[in-house]
């Protein structure tokens, strides 16, 4: 008995979520330990700069000083995380499972800071510690996972839509109105659909006399009644040449080739 194969999301989605959560929380703990929990100076890491910030707003440091808005966004993020988890577990493609896993992992990583860190539940400060070249907003790995997961999920959904349309067209079969071939040569040109059906009598040489085939048929004239006592009229015999001429094949009509 062959067991049903589990969907890709049942394996790839939880692995991605756990990886993002662990990486995000570990890097935040390292940033707190490096600066003693206090906002620290910038440290060059190639094109990036490490700068510890306690963010009481939303992603990328937005929404400071609006606790009600932050609470609503946090609750909406929790609902979106549950929806992403349900869709990710049922995902059939790797791209969708990976993208939804990044979204769920990033949301849980920031949500844990919001729920557990001071100043209080649903109002806790998120630890941000990355900036690019010392400019722009400060963010963390959870923010990176959220953005990357959103883009990857959008690409996966677009590819899935294109594949479904292609499969439907393939199952429907080719369009007969668009098939070039001998049918298109019957006076319509290639690619414009089938022309009129071929003439089954094309190329057939008729053995009927041309006069009988071309001339319209007329009803035979009645023979005159012989006078009383007069001898019956004699019929003139046909010559062999006349018989052969009547069986001479007719030439094909114009535009119709004769069969060899």
Q: Which residues are catalytic?
A: 128, 143
Q: How far is CA 123 from CA 78, 86, 128, 167, in A?
A: 14, 26, 15, 49
Beta strands in 14-92 (DSSP E): 43-45, 48-55
* Cα–Cα distance for residue pair 7/116, rounded to 1 Å: 34
Q: How far apart are CA 116 and CA 120, in angstroms?
A: 7
Locate 38 and state its tokens.
């206090």
Query: In whole angstroms, what separates CA 68 from the centre of its chain?
Result: 42
Question: Can you name the residues that pair with 132 across neighbouring β-strands?
Answer: 48, 135
């Amino acid at each position: 008995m062959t067991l049903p194969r589990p969907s890709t999301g049942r394996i790839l989605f939880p692995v991605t979520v756990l990886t993002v959560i662990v990486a995000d929380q570990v890097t935040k703990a390292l940033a707190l330990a490096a600066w003693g929990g206090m906002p620290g100076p910038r440290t060059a890491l190639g094109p990036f700069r490490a700068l510890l910030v306690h963010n009481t707003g939303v992603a990328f440091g937005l929404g400071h000083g609006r606790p009600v808005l932050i609470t609503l966004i946090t609750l909406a993020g929790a609902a979106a995380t549950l929806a992403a988890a349900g869709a990710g577990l049922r995902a059939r493609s790797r791209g969708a499972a990976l993208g939804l896993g990044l979204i769920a992992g990033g949301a849980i990583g920031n949500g844990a800071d919001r729920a557990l860190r001071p100043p209080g539940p649903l109002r806790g400060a998120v630890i941000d510690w990355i900036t690019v070249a010392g400019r722009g907003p400060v963010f963390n790995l959870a923010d990176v996972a959220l953005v990357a997961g959103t883009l990857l999920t959008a690409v996966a959904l677009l590819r899935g839509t294109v594949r479904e349309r292609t499969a439907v067209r393939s199952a429907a079969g080719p369009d007969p109105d668009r098939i070039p071939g001998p049918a298109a040569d019957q006076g319509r040109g290639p690619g414009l659909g089938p022309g009129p059906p071929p003439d089954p009598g094309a190329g057939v040489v008729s053995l009927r006399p041309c006069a009988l085939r071309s001339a319209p048929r007329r009803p035979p004239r009645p023979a005159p009644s012989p006078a009383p006592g007069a001898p019956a009229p004699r019929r003139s015999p046909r010559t062999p040449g006349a018989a052969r001429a009547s069986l001479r094949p007719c030439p094909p009509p114009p535009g119709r080739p004769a069969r060899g």
